[in-house]
Amino acid sequence: MMDAGHISIRALLIFIDVYETQNFSVVARREGISASQVSRVIHQLEDALGQQLFYRNTRAIMPTESGHLFVRYARAMAGNMEDARRELDERAREPSGTLRINGPVFFGQRHIAPGLPGLLARYPRLSIELTLTDDFIDPHRDAADVIFRIGALTDSSFHARVFGQQFYHLAASPGSLLKHGAPAGTVGLSG
């Protein structure tokens, strides 16, 4: 038994089909269920609404005034659901909305920012919020969809992918090497 707050979309679609065909058997064949199941759905819908939606006899099914009224709302609800499904399908095919990206300053300037025009050209319904900071941000607290960080992953609940490798080089001027000598390792280095 359903109540008015728990009417399923399927029940609405079956009701609309019965309203349009005025035939339980035709709807049953379309839905791949028995005519008695269609009748049961309509009966449960009528119980939930507290209204008789169809006059029934052995030869015909005809909508009542309540049925005529309710079909307008049922069609609107089914249409809204179809519009929502279509819009969600479109969003799944093409990214849209705001993508919040966070990354370190130098890395972002050198590697992230140059790729954004191409991304926006490919997905025109996408907008980008790029925040570049070398400060640690908490992804659970700070709003960011994609975070670039250099180093080891510190929280195993995050989903991470290696974007690339960064190599560091130590350089010294010839004058510094003459004055201090070449260090044997990082231990001999100081400010």
> Could you read off the pLDDT of 62-101 as tens digits, one per residue?
999 999 999 999 999 999 999 999 988 887 888 888 999 9
pLDDT of 134 above 70: yes
pLDDT of 167 above 90: no
Q: How far apart are the first and last CA of the chain?
A: 78
Enter the tokens of residue 47: 């119980």
- Average pLDDT score over residue span 145-164: 79
Residue 191 has a pLDDT of 58
Alpha helices in the chain (DSSP H): 9-21, 24-31, 35-49, 65-93, 105-107, 116-122, 174-180
> Could you read off the pLDDT of 19-69 as tens digits, one per residue?
999 999 999 999 999 999 999 999 999 999 999 999 998 888 999 999 999
User: Which domains, and CATH codes, for the chain?
Assistant: 4-92 (1.10.10.10), 95-181 (3.40.190.10)
Question: What single letter denotes the amino acid at residue 2?
Answer: M
Residue that wins the pLDDT comparison between 168 and 25 = 25
pLDDT of 158 above 80: no
DSSP 3-state of 153:
coil
CA distance linking residue 61 with residue 15, whole number of Å: 12
CA distance linking residue 121 with residue 60, whole number of Å: 58
Phi, psi (rounded to 5 degrees) for 124? -65, -20
